[in-house]
Each structure stands twice: as C-alpha cells, then as structure tokens.
Amino acid sequence: MADQWPNLGLDLHLELDAADGVRTGLERALRAAARSGRLAPGTRLPATRRLAEDLGLARGTVRAAYDQLIAEGYLTARQGSGTVVALRPGVVPVATAEPARAERPRHDLRPGSPDASAFPVAAWLESSRRALGSAPADAFGYGDPRGRAELRTALAGYLGRARGVSARPDSIVITNGYLQGLTLLATAVGGTFAMEDPGVPLHREAVRRTGARVVPLPVDDLGARADLVDGLAADAVEVTPAHQYPTGRTLHPGRRRALLDWARSSSGLIVENDYDAEFRYDRKPVGALQGAGPEDVAYLGTTSKTLGPALRIGWMVLPPRLIDPVVDAKLHVDHHTEHLGQLTLADLITRHGYDRHIRASRQRYLRRRDELRRRIADVPISLTGIAAGLHALAVLPSGGPTEADVRTAAEARGLALGYLSERRALPSTAQGVIIGYGRPPEHAYASALDALTATFTACFR
C-alpha cells in the first residue's frame, strides 16, 4: 500500500504507515500532504470507492478517514464537487498561484519584437493540421540534432529564392532561435569573436559565456568597419549586413567584399545575422552575404521577427567544415529542437503561406514607419538608416536633450523606448532613441505615437 498514489491520477507520492491501523495511516498521509502543500488547496480527491479500490482498503475505512479530516478542517465536502483540500492559513494554493509579473508600460515602443497580435493563427492551424495528419511516427520520438528533414528541405528552397543563400538540406541545422545558433557556433569555433558595436548586449554576453573572447567591431554610416578586422585578431566576425541593429545601416558593398577577402585569407568565419532582411520597404532586399561565400559564412535566420518569438525556431546554413562540430554541440545542449513546430513551418513555407504573411507584414510595417516619420516631422530629430526593419534610430542632436531627459519624459507618459547607449560596448558621446514601431498591436499604435510625440515635444520645447 505504500506506493500506489500514481494510480489515482494525481502527481503526488503517498505513503501509508499501517503500524497503528490502516485508517490512522491514511489519515496521517493525507493530513501531511495537505499540511505541507503537496496536496494544493482546491485539489479534488478521488471518490471513496475509487481510493478504496486503488489502495486495497474497505470503502468505509476511506470514508471514515475523509470524515475525520473534514472535521479537522483539512478537507471540505462540496455538493456536486466531491471532497477537496481546504484552504488553510499558511498554505499557498499551488495550482492557482501566479508568479509576480513586471508592470507593462501603457505604450510600448521598445525595439526587438514584431506585432504578436498579427500572428497568422488561421494559416498556422491549417498547416499544423496537415502536418500532424501526415506526420510519420518518428516525428513523435527523439530526432536528428540537425532538425526535421522536411523543414531543412523547405528552407533550402525558400532561402535560395528569397535571400540568395546557397543551401542544401544537409548544410542546415535547426535551432531554438538566433541566440542558440550563435552560442553553438561560439562553442564550436571558440577563440575571439568580433561583434558589432553598437549591437545586442545579450548576444555579446552569450558568446562570452561559451568561453570565447569578445571584441567590439565599430559600426559607422557604411556598416561594420571591415577595415579594422585584421587588427582584431578575430577567429570569427558577427555582422548584420542587411539591416544593422540598432543603427539601421546596410553593409556597404566594398565592406562586404573586404570581409569575404579576410575570411578567405585567414580561414576566419563570418557569422551573418540576417536581421530584418525580409522587411525592406524602399527596394528589393539585398541578397545574403552567404551567397557570395558559402565556404566562409555561417548564415543565421529565425522566425522571431517574421512570425513571432514564441515559436523559438531558427536555422543555420553552415560551411561544410562546421557541420559536424555544430551538430555535436547541438546534441549535447538539447538533443533537438521540437518537431511539431518544424513540421508546421515546413508546410507553411512549402504552400507559400509564409511568403504571403511576410508580404502582408511588410505592407503593415511600412505604413507604421511612414506614420512615425510623419508624426515626428516637426521635431528637430532625424531617423538614421534605410527604410527597413521594425525599428528606427532617432539620433539626439548635440547640445539638445539627452537620453536621460527623453527617458524621464517618456516614463511620465507610460511610454517604453530603447536607448542607444545601452547597446554600446565602446565609449561614445552619441546618444539616441530606438523606436520599435513593430511591437504594438494595430489598435494601440496611434496612442503610442501620441505618447511619443508628446515626449519629444516636452523635451525640445
């Protein structure tokens, strides 16, 4: 009788000590579980007949134990609801308790996220039904660390036609987003990583935690300073050629060539973060750097901006020499990325639902960017970079309001923004505000811009 609680369908261990009789042992076990919180307040207990059968006891014994604990206040008998654990002082209702949440801003223009409310639910459900309906049995077991062949095949075709990437299914590794891909590469390559500055502090720290050394690579109006790479003694260089975060610059063609020349002459690796590449508004996007140097570039992409960060699906297109080391690192980190989302995305790509969603998103974010520019046209501030992506950098003029001034005015209006100084590793006097126009749901965008224009007006008057 000591270890039969799993048969009751409750995830709790119950031991009966029958030294003083089985009824007393059952009372003690239930009382201890309720007192400690292992049986959470509100938990419905099995019917007396069911519990008696599972424990091999007489039903009257179980009923008597329940009655005793009801009398003591540990249990409560509810009409139509059976017997449940009572709420007792000092015991937190585990099943209903919610973790503390950070207060959300009233208006959220922080960068780094798309409009989550625009997720293509209907298309995703349709693809999911098809994918699950035709999924082989091995899709529900452990899998290849590289990812499902269905998705790697779909991506090879999509990336080739949409981004100019030279990819074969066996050169692609599916990851849990960009950050995991970057850390897997840092684990496999090691040594020194040159990373754009300004950039993403989280990415720099993730690379450091693998044991690799990180050195900043300055960014100017032409993108990453490729002319400085030789002097950094780097083994790998991470760049965002299509749309640099947060400056919004594209990598100049001359610097693209210079980076490729460096990689070929030094056996170095270029890590291409194809950030925001799908969202170019003034012209067709520039092809991926990887297409000009597939032997020297590890290309990384993700659905975090196109569909939503919650999916945690990314991919790497790797040079041949890195496939085995990265796959080995992936195997020992989490074995493989979950399969069902991969199968759904493969269907969405193959049936061109992914393309349709990106085209619709492109039009929506273009309208938002145009509205942003119109609303701040009278403010003595300029947006840098190309017409692309989900954010814009507003550089603050020298001698004008500082980032601290803008932050104070924004917070007074319940507005959250990003700030340039927080993205820098190197010292700089340049200050700016990063405006993420992709994040708010459609109904909240106009009021967020109202708060933004009021903030700038207060700072520049």
Q: What is the pTM of this model?
A: 0.84
For position 446, what pLDDT does the model report? 97
Between 38 and 413, residue with greater pLDDT:
413
Q: What is the mean pLDDT of the chain?
A: 92
The mean-pLDDT minimum among 28-37, 91-100, 172-181 falls in 91-100
pLDDT tops 60 at residue 21: yes
Mean per-residue pLDDT, 114-121: 97
The mean-pLDDT minimum among 176-190, 272-286, 432-446 falls in 272-286
Mean per-residue pLDDT, 218-226: 97
Between 20 and 214, residue with greater pLDDT:
214
The CA distance from 143 to 331, in Å, is 10
For position 120, what pLDDT does the model report? 97
The CA distance from 117 to 441, in Å, is 6
For position 6, what pLDDT does the model report? 43
Q: Could you give the 3-state DSSP secondary structure of residue 34? A: helix
pLDDT tops 80 at residue 318: yes
The mean-pLDDT minimum among 59-73, 92-106, 149-163 falls in 92-106
Q: DSSP 3-state helix, strand, coil percentages of the chain (rounded to 5)?
A: 45, 15, 40
Yes or no: say if 425 and 439 are a contact pair by the CB < 8 Å rule.
Answer: no
DSSP 319-373: -HHHHHHHHHHHHHHHSS--HHHHHHHHHHHHTTHHHHHHHHHHHHHHHHHHHHH
Q: What percent of the chain has pLDDT over 70?
A: 93
Three-class secondary structure assignment of 57-108: CCHHHHHHHHHHHHHHCCEEEECCCEEEECCCCCCCCCCCCCCCCCCCCCEE
For position 140, what pLDDT does the model report? 96
Between 2 and 369, residue with greater pLDDT:
369
pLDDT tops 50 at residue 190: yes
- Token digits for 426? 């190197």
Mean per-residue pLDDT, 247-259: 97
For position 241, what pLDDT does the model report? 96
pLDDT tops 70 at residue 11: no
Note the pLDDT tens digit of each residue in 336-368: 999 999 999 999 999 999 999 999 999 999 999
The CA distance from 109 to 417, in Å, is 5
DSSP 260: H
Yes or no: say if 49 and 59 are a contact pair by the CB < 8 Å rule.
Answer: yes
Closest CA to 162 of 253, 252, 288, 260: 288
Residue 313 sits at φ, ψ, to 5 deg, of -125, 120
Between 254 and 44, residue with greater pLDDT:
254
Confidence label for 1 from pLDDT (cuts 50, 70 and 90): very low
Confidence label for 5 from pLDDT (cuts 50, 70 and 90): very low
β-sheet bridge partners, residue 416: 108
